[in-house]
Every structure is written in structure tokens, then in C-alpha cells.
Structure 1
Amino acid sequence: MSTVMKFISPVDEFPLGSVFEDLPGVEVELERLIPHETLIIPYFWVRGVETEDIETSFEPHTGVTNIRLVDSVEDEYLMRAEWKPEYFGILSALAKANVVVLTGIGKKDGWRFEVRGENQEAIAEFREYCQENDIPMEITAVHAMLPIQGEGYELTETQREALVLAYERGYFDTPRESSLEEIADELGITQQSLSSRLRRGHRRLIGATLSSSV
């Protein structure tokens, strides 16, 4: 049975966290990891800041190169970087382990991750890798993930809550009966966080029903 683990990591453990020194109010959300030959390429969103040159907000790091802007929507910036796999850190551990990153959000007080393994052994291997390589992490929760309304619908609780509420409030109707702002207020989160939950939830549902891979 799939197992989910939540953990937190110090802000300086993740090199992308250098942005918090100049922009303490910013939020960074890991979108996905793409292994590519000798590199690991992370895509991530940067929110809560307005700047003409977001790329220079990230200081150089020995493990990361070529940070660049891919796209932007209002005050949200989609960026990518190139990560050297020989650098031991949380990102390397996530890329090498047999786990799926459900969420990865960084703020000035630290990083919060939620990962899924196919079973408890996969989670245990990830923890052992971090311990063996002195990668700091504090586990906050471990639990089995039960499918939602059928096998393969592996949504997180927050994704399911956001999708169901948006559906019930008529957000997906035409014309819409509720706005993103109204639903976010009801959940007590920001519009950016709600948008992220809906996007990730859609991706997992489509992956489980219309595509052969998630």
C-alpha cells in the first residue's frame, strides 16, 4: 500500500532557499523533478514578489547552476535550474529515491515536503539515504494513502478538499458560480495556494484516468 511521509527541512539545506535572504516574503513551490543525463532539472514556482529580474534573486550555489525564468503569470514565476546529482542534499535524495513528491513548499522558516512511496520500504530507503548522507530532516507524519473513489485516485487530503469544494461551489461551471478568491477565503488559504492544489489535483486525476502515467 502506498505510504505518505511529511517532513520539514532547514531553509539553508535547499539551495533555492537563498532567495529568502533578499525576498523574505517569497514562497517557492517545487513543481517537478526531471532527471536528464548527468543533471537533475527541478522546475519550481516563485510567488509573492514583484521584481523585474527574479533570476538574480537566487545566489550561486555549488550544487545548482543555470537558474532561469521559464514563464510568468502575474506575480508567479515558473523557473528551472540544473542540479548536480553528486551534491548531497534533499533534492538529490528526492531524485534518487523511489518516491514521488506530492508537495514541496519553501518559506523563510523552512521547507515542508510531502512524498509518496509505493510502500513502506520505499519510504524507509529514502529516510536511510538522508541519514547516511547527513541530510537534515524532521519527520512530522507517516501514514498509508488510501485511494479516493477508486484505485489510482491518490489525492492528498488538501487536494481532495480543494477540488470537492470548488466543484460544490460551482467553480467549474459555465458561467462560474464562485471565484478562486471566494473558495480560497473559505479554505483560509491564499489564491496562489488554492490554484496550486487544484492544478496538482487535476494532474493526478488525469494521470490516473486518461494517461498511462502520473
Structure 2
Amino acid sequence: MANFAEASAFPHGTSRPQVLKNGDVVLVDCGCTVEGYNSDISRTIVFGAEPTARQLEIWNLEKEAQAAGYRAAKIGATLGDVDAAARKVITDAGFGPDYKLPGLPHRTGHGIGMDGHEWGNAVRGNTQILEPGMCFSIEPNISIVGEFGIRHEDCVYMTESGRFGFLSPVPRFLSHLLRKFPRTKLPGFRLQGWGFASRFPLKKLYLRRLIIPHFHESIPCFTGRIY
């Protein structure tokens, strides 16, 4: 799933055609299946231009909210605790409260394994205790309808000693991505519904890791590495 500009504020996308423009927020949510196991990842960038102060503010706030969710993911805590920790960061910044817009309008994460979405939602009221062997996403989403949305999504696996992150975390600053995703004068791509345009300059994609592939920052919207 890929959404541009105002459409990035819709957590589950839009069926309307989109045209990518320089300066747009681009939110991509994708994954793959390896030996029957699913991956899931979301990344958000600004395309073809320096981010505005507003875009940077919300990108960094989302980063803080996801980090709070990570810290709350401890053996013996609950999935509801993960949601509460991430949601508090967003609410304390003046969004919401609760599930209201602008803010975080849905769960912070979901279980994942043989199916892309399984039971084990990081959502308010879920008292399920985190135990070794559980795998779930942490992806608080900040949706500002009429402007844009930001989501960082990664999956974690619970072990006896705590959580294990499959991927390198989202870079600390959006500029770390932009240095490897330079400006372009190309008109961009046109999207219809869920599909990527055939003009996207993909080379051969090699999966690097079982269950959750390696994420390479030079193309910050695909699971895998571009060669």
C-alpha cells in the first residue's frame, strides 16, 4: 500500500487515484512471505524536497511514540500497555485525546505470523500478557486529515530476555533518509488503488532475512535490498 500527501492520513489507504508530487509525504506499508511467515513494515518519507517544519515535527513525534511502545513491550506487561505508552506520547503533544482525530485513530499494533494480521492487538483494554514467542507490530499512526499522516511500523518478537527487533530501527532523523533519497525532477508515479505503477525503477529484489527481511534505507519503502 502506498499513499501520498492527504491520502497518507488514511491508515488503510484509499481507492482514489493519486499523483505523486515533490514535497508530498509518502507512506508505504508492505511486506512479504518467507517459508509461510509474514512480514509487515511501514516507512514514511518526504518525496523530492526538504521536509517542512510541520512534516518534521510530526515525523519525530511518531518516532517518539513508536519508541515508547518499544519500551513498554516487556515480558509480563500487557498488549494494552504498549498501546497506552505510544498513545500517551501523541496525546501529550496535543492530539486526540483517545482515538479522536487528529491523532491515533486505531490500534498501535497487531499480531503477525502465519497470517499478516493475527490476534494479539496492541489496543486499549487488551489485558493479554506478553510472553516469549509472541510476535506483533508496533505502529502508532498519526493521522491529520486534510494534511498528511505519518506511520513507522516494525515487528518485534518476545524472547525470555525481552523483545527482539527484526530490523534496524527507523533512523533518528528524517534527514538521514533524505540524504539517501535525493531530490528528483521526475514527475513521479501514478497509483490506482493498491498497486504500484510499473514505472517504479525497481531492480532485482533479494530477501535478506527469514520472516522479516533486511531494510535498506536507500529505498525507504520496500522490505528487501535493492541491487
Is TM > 0.5 for Structure 1 vs Structure 2?
A: no
- The answer to which structure has the higher strand fraction is 1
- The answer to which structure has the higher helix fraction is 1
Normalising by structure 2, what TM-score?
0.27
Normalising by structure 1, what TM-score?
0.28
